[in-house]
Copies of this chain bind each other. A is one copy, B any other.
């Protein structure tokens, strides 16, 4: 594999594609808009998935699995939902193929037409709330705290590896509660879990906020989100948590009897993150030499590369390398010893740089004589010579340091890229020249939001939680406003 990664400054979009493809995360597929997640990319997603899954379970959620298909009529049941989701979907109309009587392979059997078409789930609120109707009768059945890991399909016109694909993998939590307060608390709890995961595992600083009405999930009363910033100054929505009120309970007639035996509709939340997070991770940290992965979710945290000439040296280094590998493994470090004889050390160095392995250990005979190894960090490229004695403890500390410093670096960048704008010209100039989040006053109307989007391609990413209140005038309309909101161009 050759590196040949496009320079970030030259072509950011191509740089991103190069990283994903050459970093062995994913590949294009024969199906329009769908990607293949390669083993290295899937191992990364597995680390993310398993970490989140444990966080969900620690807060009382259980996993379940609901059908891939949704009867078409279900989508129409919740009025706002159908507007937002029903349109660009994969539609199953037939259930059988047959041999072409003309001998040209196989054709769809026209006699096997479904009475009602099935939609490949774009999200599962409808099929799940149709099921909850039979599961919930009494307050004793609440709260119902369920999560599903699944594939979903949204027929996107323009797709990008991980960031926007026709099929993607995600988790969707769907919970049911006896009152609004509990449901809102759940919505915010899951938002906190997402922020905790993004910041402490992905090393990705995020802003927690609430969406404007126009950007809300179709069917939600409120949509909360975490917003991250990429290195090109564009924002990326990294997770959403919705307070659904009683909308889906009403659409699917899900009522419960409370302690006083009074019937009421159930209150709902839903929340999700997807393989899009892999794209965010790539764009937030990587450089022109390849991926830079945070140690906590890197599939391989440390790679050991022996430097030798001839089979005699190789034998000595193989033995030492295996010994060190075992010592690091015992300390709970995910380590790979690459003693493959087909490739030269320089090629391996470039290869693991490209794949973003946080720490590289190189060892040659001279190092061993001195009882040391050469340790290189992927993020800063710093190299140091460290004694073999006590190495696992030092590497453990180094991984923690890298994790912390990657976060700090991304946070510093983000903080430098939240800029206040008070005039329209300034607003436009900042978007074009600096990027990032622009904190500006807005008059609170969907019309103004729409005009700003049309003029600048910037959207309101969120109204931050605990947003400071401040009198001002709308950047576009000049009408009065009581708080700034965060605008950005976004993925």
The residues of A with any CB-CB pair to B shorter than 8 Å are 27, 29-31, 34-39, 42-43, 46, 62-76, 82, 86-98, 105-106, 108, 117-120, 127, 130-131, 134-135, 140, 146, 150-151, 153, 155, 167, 169, 342
Contacts and interface: CB of A to CB of B under 8 A. Distances in A.
B167 A69 contact: yes
A62 B39 contact: yes
A96 B89 contact: yes
A130 B31 CA distance: 11
Contacts of A38: 64
B106 A68 contact: no
A46 B73 contact: no
Contacts of A70: 31
A259 to B, nearest CB: 12
A167 B97 contact: no
A118 B134 contact: no
19 contacts: A27-B134, A29-B67, A29-B131, A30-B127, A31-B69, A34-B67, A37-B65, A43-B63, A68-B153, A69-B167, A76-B106, A86-B106, A88-B96, A90-B95, A91-B93, A91-B95, A91-B96, A91-B97, A92-B92
A36 B131 contact: yes
Contacts of A106: 72, 75-76, 82, 86
A18 to B, nearest CB: 16
Main SS of the interface on chain A?
Answer: mixed
Contact of A67 (B36, B89, B97, B140): B36
B342 A71 contact: no
Nearest to A92: B90
A97 B69 contact: no
A362 to B, nearest CB: 23
B42 A63 contact: yes
Contacts of A96: 87-89, 91, 155
Contacts of A30: 67, 71, 74, 127, 130-131
Contacts of A117: 108
Contacts of A90: 69, 92, 94-95, 118
Given A91-B97, A105-B76, A42 B69 contact: no
A66 B29 contact: yes
A344 to B, nearest CB: 14
A342 B151 CA distance: 38
B91 A108 contact: yes
B75 A92 contact: no
A89 B62 CA distance: 31
Contacts of A119: 97
A409 to B, nearest CB: 31
Contact of A94 (B63, B93, B134, B146): B93
A29 B127 contact: yes
Given A92-B90, A93-B93, A97-B91, A68 B131 contact: no
B97 A94 contact: no
Q: Which of A39, A87, A97 has the most CB of B within 10 A?
A: A97
Nearest to A74: B30
A135 B29 CA distance: 12
B140 A342 contact: yes
A167 B62 contact: no
Contacts of A150: 151
Query: Which A-B residue pairs are the 4 nearest by beta carbons?
Result: A39-B62, A34-B67, A76-B105, A37-B65
Nearest to A115: B32
A323 to B, nearest CB: 21
A458 to B, nearest CB: 28
Given A31-B67, A64-B42, A67-B31, A73 B36 contact: no
